[in-house]
Amino acid sequence: MLYFIEQCLNGVQLGMLLFLLAAGLTLVFGIMDLVNLAHGSLYMIGAYFAATFAALTGSFVLAAVLALIATLVVGMAVEVIVMRRLYGRDHLDHVLGTFGLILFFNELVRLIWGPAGMTLPLPAEMLTAVQVLPGIYYPVYRLVIIVVTLAVAAALYLFIMRTRIGMLIRAGASNREMVGALGVNIKLLYTLVFGLGAALAGFAGLMQAPILTVQIGMGENILILAFVVIIIGGIGSIRGAFVASVFVGIVDTIGRAFLPDLLRTVLNENAAATLGPSLSSMLIYMLMAAVLVFRPEGLFPASRR
């Protein structure tokens, strides 16, 4: 039972991280109708920036802030130089163009930081574990991830729903021509939204960096997970992305933790050992395929006409 609660917390933590990635992805997708495969590259770049700044400044928090700003700038630059030209194109063009960007960014990182990975050390006070429930100790840093991401999610919600820029973003999502016709600088708005998405991805990268190593291609597999999230949640829906992130995070973590044992009760040892890991990796893709077959627009489709 204790193990189960711990795994649930791990699932929530993964879900929070996925939400950071998925939120940017779904914003860009929902508002600019852009499929951005290079989102994972921004995640990677955020992590590299954070590791570099941490080595320079010696402060984790300062490094995080600097890395966020740097990723925001990179994101906006990418939007101005490349993405802007892809709006209104076929989704296939997006897939292809941003696929080219992935190649470019991976190589650029190899050129600048070298092929070896980096580590982002945590400050000492985050290395301990706290007692979250009687008898359950949980690493402080993972709790920090959960809390900080929840705060970001809340801030994002307020930003989108309660501010003027947020209102324009929502308006741009439902009818971009009309917003443009009303005299809003839609180009600038798009650059801002893309930068915001990039910063969120970079944030996810730098938060994950201390747990995993910072390495080239680190964004590629998690990017696919983030796509699963936004497809399940419904494209363009932040709320859907949030629910689906937590759902996917928990299903993935719990599946990995318990499915092999569960299989052992119905199958023989050998078959379970073979089947367990693959089946638990496949779980979320099966989930997504099932959702798409029964709800082709995702669970919380953003209303559009």
Residues 6+ apart with CB under 8 A from 160: 166, 169, 170, 238
Instruction: Among 2, 56, 62, 107, indicate the residue that binds other proteins (CB under 8 A).
Output: 107
CB of 154 to other proteins, least distance (A): 28
Our CB check for other proteins shows the closer of 66 and 223 to be: 223
Q: Cα–Cα distance between 261 and 267 in angstroms, integer?
A: 10
Helices (H) and strands (E) in the chain, counts: 11, 2
Our CB check for other proteins shows the closer of 68 and 231 to be: 231
Q: Does 91 bind other proteins (CB under 8 A)?
A: yes
Instruction: Among 85, 215, 233, 250, indicate the residue that binds other proteins (CB under 8 A).
Output: 85
Distance of CA 119 to the CA centre of its chain: 20
Our CB check for other proteins shows the closer of 112 and 155 to be: 112
Residue 265: exposed, middle, or buried by beta-carbon count in 10 A (0-12, 13-18, 19+)?
Answer: exposed
CB of 93 to other proteins, least distance (A): 5
Our CB check for other proteins shows the closer of 130 and 292 to be: 292
Q: Cα–Cα distance between 14 and 109 in angstroms, integer?
A: 25
Angle subtended by helix axes 2-32 and 238-266, to nearest 10: 140
- Site size toward other proteins (CB under 8 A) is 48
CB atoms within 10 A of CB 24: 31
Instruction: Among 158, 286, 303, 304, indicate the residue that binds other proteins (CB under 8 A).
Output: 286
Instruction: Among 25, 156, 209, 228, indicate the residue that binds other proteins (CB under 8 A).
Output: 228
Our CB check for other proteins shows the closer of 141 and 227 to be: 227
CB of 281 to other proteins, least distance (A): 4
CB of 141 to other proteins, least distance (A): 28
How far lies 228's CA from each of 115, 188, 290, in Å? 29, 29, 12
Q: Does 95 bind other proteins (CB under 8 A)?
A: yes
Q: Does 48 bind other proteins (CB under 8 A)?
A: no
| Range 35-63 burial, b when 16+ CB lie within 10 A, else e | bbbbbbbbbbbbbbbbbbbbeeeeebeeb
Site string for other proteins, 179-198 (x = CB under 8 A): --------------------
Q: Does 274 bind other proteins (CB under 8 A)?
A: yes
Q: Does 88 bind other proteins (CB under 8 A)?
A: no
Residues 6+ apart with CB under 8 A from 2: 135, 136
Q: Does 220 bind other proteins (CB under 8 A)?
A: yes
Phi and psi at residue 304, to the nearest 5°: -145, 155
CA atoms within 13 A on the CB side of 27: 30
- Could you list the residues that contact other proteins (CB under 8 A)? 29, 35, 37, 82, 85-86, 89, 91-93, 95-97, 99-108, 110-111, 220, 224, 227-228, 231, 235, 273-279, 281-282, 285-286, 288-289, 292-293, 296-297
